[in-house]
């Protein structure tokens, strides 16, 4: 008999948690763990780690898992040593499929040919040429090469099913090979694989038919279809729907939607993209095909996912990064613990940025992701339970307190202010980063559920901490001050005072420091109000997203908008402003700065401030910036004096002192490093 709590949860997420018949089998809910490369796919010797990673998501209750992409042949690998669905690899994957099936899960292998996106000299594409994402020029596939590629997809699909996979997904989105065949921008062929829209879709259809024949009717065939290419000379909506209907006739069971090519100059998955921004396109497709359709891209909030399903916009929801963040997400929804879901903030810092740098992915808010066999939080036996004080409730302190409590320790969390969050709380006030507040709310709920004692507005002394076995100092950072001669002139404020609302900026502003915080402050001062992130229509207009039948690819040049302020962004370094930002998100911030007309200064020396303004030297010449406000974003300094005070005060064996996060290293405020360090310390208590 179900509990009232479980029944209420089932009612709240009735659509999301209901089973669905996908043809060959039924899935237990509508939550799909979408394809996401972690780096564990590339070497068959990592199969055990990949099995632990995917198995934990299956035990967490996800309905269907889609693996990271595996190429059908060497030419289609993303990197020289990238993942390939060859015989050796898929023999090792029997461990993965067994792990998922033992948890009553379902899993399909994604087949992905990189085409011109491949980062190696063997790359091949419909018409040859070089993409913006690779230094290698791809060769043009011959007619024989096209047929061999079709055969390779079929052979790889057959091997996947033999290895225990419940089916395969064909990657036809994001600008990879099949998407390249579909778009006039990249398919200039004059044979039967090009020339007309029918010719351009012939290769994807031939591959779908060959794969269907190879895997039989008892395995699932999913196709990842691009609904909006968001590149000039991409597909029209009419072409996209014609492809979708033809794919269904070719035997595809499920259409999983994708948005935008990797080279598109429109963001599609970062935090500043509105939630469910592309669900309307999914609904239009669903109305034209007779198979289940999966919605994707920034559907991270379970309530938003439920709304998308309940309104008939989709049949399933793809949640890739949210399940990286919280593998127990489906179970928590079913058990009435939605408030405890660890919220993905779409930052990309530890997942996609790592993958694009050739490193293993993880998750900023869950450093155990893809490291399940290495970072283990083992429950403590009763005689080893310790009393732990965590001082500072920024991201590092929050996660240290939570991880220690979940292991079974008795934890008290102290925070000198009246709110948790630290620097993350400030970041949540930047337009486009509103979702950061959701992460803080989930920390509050999880801390309460774990039994952590929270003391807000308290700054414990070294003496008061002597009764604990361990003291974790997570007191964070303070804004770095700069020594500048001043004689009147513009008001000088710190970024913290600005974002906390203790100070305001005028109409003409100079920002000293162009690291991540300086860029955030520039956007805070120039972004349209209200934030386009909170309004899909305004966001589409802001980025030039239009109907794909009116303009091929569904994108136009961004319209100019009236500047809110005159803002100067200055840095000492000669390098490009924003060069240190994330690999997959930095370009978005740089584009916003350009769009807002932010004036950028590099190689600057700061001289003095007086009634004339901010005096600087730039390119060897003296200049004066006539501004009324100077915002200092010149870095941070660690606040960690408490650690020395506790050590000086202690008597006997207790307490042990651990310094983590910004209190340990303040350089470039790295929340990923801080949270990982917090969990590692908690794992070692």
Among all residues, which ones are annotated catalytic?
176
Neighbours of 276 (CB within 10 A): 24
Tokens of 133: 């994402």
d(CA 99, CA 54): 8
DSSP label at residue 195: S
26-57 b/e (C-beta count within 10 Å ≥ 16 → b)? ebbbbbbbbbbbbbbbbebebbebbbbbbbbb
Asked if 678 and 397 touch (Cβ cutoff 8 Å), the reply is yes
Sheet strands (E) in 260-394: 293-295, 316-318, 387-391
Which stretch of DSSP H or E encloses residue 567?
Answer: strand 566-570
Tokens of 215: 């895997």
519-546 b/e (C-beta count within 10 Å ≥ 16 → b)? bbbbbbbbbbeebbbeebeebbebbbbe
CB under 8 Å to 293, separation ≥6 — which residues?
254, 255, 256, 257, 282, 285, 286, 314, 315, 316
Asked if 50 and 44 touch (Cβ cutoff 8 Å), the reply is no
CB under 8 Å to 159, separation ≥6 — which residues?
85, 86, 87, 90
Place of tokens 């127990």: 328
Place of tokens 């190696």: 120
């Amino acid at each position: 008999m179900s509990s009232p709590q479980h029944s209420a949860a089932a009612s709240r997420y009735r659509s999301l948690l209901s089973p669905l018949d996908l043809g060959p089998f039924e899935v237990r809910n509508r939550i799909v763990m979408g394809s996401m490369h972690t780096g564990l796919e590339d070497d068959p010797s990592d199969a055990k780690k990949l099995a632990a990673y995917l198995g934990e998501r299956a035990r967490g209750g996800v309905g269907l898992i889609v693996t990271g992409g595996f190429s059908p042949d060497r030419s289609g690998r993303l990197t020289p040593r990238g993942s390939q669905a060859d015989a050796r690899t898929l023999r090792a994957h029997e461990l993965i499929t067994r792990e998922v099936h033992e948890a009553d899960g379902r899993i399909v292998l994604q087949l992905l040919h990189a085409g011109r996106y491949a980062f190696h000299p063997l790359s091949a594409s419909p018409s040859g040429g070089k993409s913006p994402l690779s230094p290698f020029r791809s060769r043009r596939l011959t007619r024989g090469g096209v047929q061999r590629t079709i055969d390779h997809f079929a052979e790889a699909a057959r091997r996947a099913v033999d290895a225990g996979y419940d089916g395969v997904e064909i990657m036809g989105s994001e600008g990879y090979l099949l998407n390249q065949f579909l778009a006039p921008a990249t398919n200039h062929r004059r044979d039967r694989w090009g020339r007309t829209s029918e010719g351009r879709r012939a290769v994807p259809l031939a591959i779908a038919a060959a794969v269907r024949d190879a895997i039989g009717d008892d395995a699932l065939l999913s196709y990842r279809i691009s609904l909006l290419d968001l590149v000039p000379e991409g597909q029209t909506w009419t072409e996209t729907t014609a492809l979708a209907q033809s794919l269904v006739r070719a035997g595809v069971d499920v259409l999983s939607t994708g948005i935008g090519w990797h080279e598109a100059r429109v963001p599609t998955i970062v935090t500043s993209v509105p939630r469910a921004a592309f669900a309307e396109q999914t609904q239009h497709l669903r109305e034209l095909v007779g198979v289940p359709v999966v919605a994707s891209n920034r559907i991270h909030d379970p309530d938003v996912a439920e709304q998308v399903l309940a309104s008939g916009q989709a049949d399933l929801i793809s949640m890739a990064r949210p399940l990286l963040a919280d593998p127990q997400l489906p179970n928590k929804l079913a058990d009435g613990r939605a408030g405890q879901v660890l919220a993905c903030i779409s930052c990309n810092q530890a997942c996609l940025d790592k993958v694009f740098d050739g490193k293993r992915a993880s998750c900023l808010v869950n450093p155990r992701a893809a490291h399940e066999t290495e970072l283990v939080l083992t429950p403590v036996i009763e005689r080893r339970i310790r009393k732990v004080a965590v001082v500072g409730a920024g991201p590092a302190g929050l996660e240290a307190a939570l991880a220690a409590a979940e292991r079974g320790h008795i934890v008290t969390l102290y925070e000198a202010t009246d709110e948790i969050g630290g620097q993350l709380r400030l970041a949540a006030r930047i337009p486009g980063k509103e979702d950061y507040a959701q992460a803080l709310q989930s920390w509050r709920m999880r801390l309460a559920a774990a039994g952590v004692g929270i003391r807000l507005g308290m700054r414990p002394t070294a003496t008061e901490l002597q009764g604990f076995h361990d003291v974790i100092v997570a007191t964070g950072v303070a804004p770095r001050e700069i020594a500048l001669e001043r004689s009147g002139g513009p008001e000088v404020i710190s970024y913290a005072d600005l974002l906390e609302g203790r100070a305001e900026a005028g109409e003409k502003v100079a920002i000293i420091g162009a690291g991540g915080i300086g860029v955030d402050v520039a956007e805070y001062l120039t972004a349209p109000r209200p934030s386009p992130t909170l309004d899909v229509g305004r966001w589409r207009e802001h980025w030039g997203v239009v109907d794909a039948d009116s303009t091929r690819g569904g994108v136009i040049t961004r319209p100019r908008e009236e500047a809110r302020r005159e803002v100067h962004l200055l840095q000492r370094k000669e390098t490009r402003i924003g060069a240190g930002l994330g690999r997959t998100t930095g370009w978005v911030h740089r584009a916003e700065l350009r769009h807002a007309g932010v004036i950028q200064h590099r190689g600057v020396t700061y001289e003095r401030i007086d009634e004339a303004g901010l005096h600087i030297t730039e390119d060897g010449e003296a200049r004066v910036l006539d501004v009324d406000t100077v915002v200092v974003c010149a870095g941070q300094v660690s606040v960690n004096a408490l650690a020395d005070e506790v050590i000086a005060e202690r008597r006997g064996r207790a307490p042990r002192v651990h310094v983590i996060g910004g209190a340990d290293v303040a350089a470039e405020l790295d929340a990923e490093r801080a949270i990982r360090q917090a969990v590692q310390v908690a794992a070692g208590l």
